[in-house]
Amino acid sequence: MRHPTKMLRLQANPSWFFWWAIGLLLVIVFVFHAMEIGFPESQALEVDPVVPVGADKQIGTKLPGKTGKGTPLQSVPDGFSPETLPGYQQAKYSDISWLVTHNAMSNRAEGWWFPNQSYGMTRQLNDGVRGLMLDVHMIDGKPFLLHGSSMLGSVPLKTSLAEIHAFMQKWPNTVITLILECYAPATVVQQAFKASGLSDMLHQQPGGRSWPTIGEMIKTGKRLVLFTDSGGGDWPGYHDVWKYCQETHYSVKRIDEFNFKRNRGDESNSLLILNHFLTRPTAGVGLAKRANAASVLEPRLNKCEQAMKCFPNFVAVDFYECGDTPQLLFKFNRQQAKQQRFGKASAK
C-alpha cells in the first residue's frame, strides 16, 4: 500500500513504539527523581581543587559550604579520614569500619545521569572514602564502568584505575578497598589492573587466615584489597566477595525497611557489607539526607554487630557528604579503639 494507516505503520516499525515508550519512561523517572532530591540544590554542588592539609587533618579539602546563591550545603569537616584514628596502624584491616561509596563512578560532577554520588572518585578519596563499589561492563570489547546503561554515563576502567593509583601513590599510608559488580572476563580485568600499576599493590588474603594490620599492609605495599562477584580466585588478589563477605539487603525504599537480615554471603564470612542507602526508584540527595542522618545511621552502626554477629566493615552509602556519615563513622571507629578492638587478637 502506498498510504498505509497509522496502525500499519506502527506494525511495520515496532521498534519506533519501543523507543518512544522507553523515552517516556525516562522522562517520568527524571521528573520523579527531580522532585525527590530537590533538584536545584543537588545541581548546585560544585567541585573544588584538592588542597593537601596537615597530617593531623583530613586528606583533601572541605566540600563547599555555600552555593553562589548562598544556599547552605552539606560539607565534610576536616579530620575524619581513617588515617587520623588513634592506633590506626595497629588495627587489623577487619577492625575498621570503612566508608564506602555505592556506585562510586556514577557522580554528578562528571555529568552522569541519575548519579549516586556528587563528586568524582579522586574527590571521594580525598574526603575520606576508602571503599569504592564499581560496576564493570564490556563495551566494544573493552572494560568500562557504568551503571545500567552507557547512555547514563560511562568511563573506561583503565581511566578510573589510573585515578586510584595516583591517589595511592600520593598517600602511602592509605588502604583502599574495591568491590566490583563485574560483567567482564576476569582476564580482561586483570590486564586493566596490570596496565594501571595497581597489581603490584594488591593484597592476597589466604582463606581462613586473620587479616593483617594496617601497618603490615603499609610496610609491604599491599594496600589495595579487591573483591568481585564474578571470576573471583581466577588470579592472585582477585577475591570472590561472597567467600569473604556477607551483606545486608540493598533494595530498600524507606527508612523503616532497614534491617539486619543477611542477603548474600555465608554467615560465617568474616567481613560485613552494611548497605545503607535508599533507592526510590533511583538514588537522590533527599533520600541520602534521611538515610545518612545521625538518628538513623548511628543506632544501626551500634546495633549491627550484636544483631548480625559480625562487625560492619564496609558502610556503603549514596551521597556521602549528606547527613552525618563521615563524622559518625569516625566516632564509631574511635569507640572501637577505646574498647581496644584495634590491635586485639582476632580470628578475622
DSSP string, 140-176: TTEEEEESS-GGG-EEEHHHHHHHHHHHHHH-TT--E
Is 90 exceeded by the pLDDT of residue 304?
A: yes
Three cell numbers at 296? Answer: 538513623
What pLDDT does 341 receive?
73
Which tens digit of pLDDT belongs to each residue from 199-254?
999 999 998 899 999 999 999 999 999 999 999 999 999 999 999 999 999 989 99
Let me know how long the chain is.
Answer: 348
pLDDT class of 89 with cuts at 50, 70, 90: very high
The region of weakest confidence among 3-7, 91-95, 201-205 is 3-7
What pLDDT does 36 receive?
47
Is 90 exceeded by the pLDDT of residue 98?
A: yes
Is 50 exceeded by the pLDDT of residue 75?
A: no
* Side-chain half-sphere CA neighbours of 48 within 13 A: 15
Domains of the chain: 77-338 (3.20.20.190)
The residue type of 173 is N
What pLDDT does 265 receive?
96
Three cell numbers at 217? Answer: 599492609
Mean pLDDT of 32-49: 40
Is 90 exceeded by the pLDDT of residue 9?
A: no
Which tens digit of pLDDT belongs to each residue from 326-336?
999 999 999 99
What pLDDT does 25 receive?
66
What pLDDT does 45 receive?
37
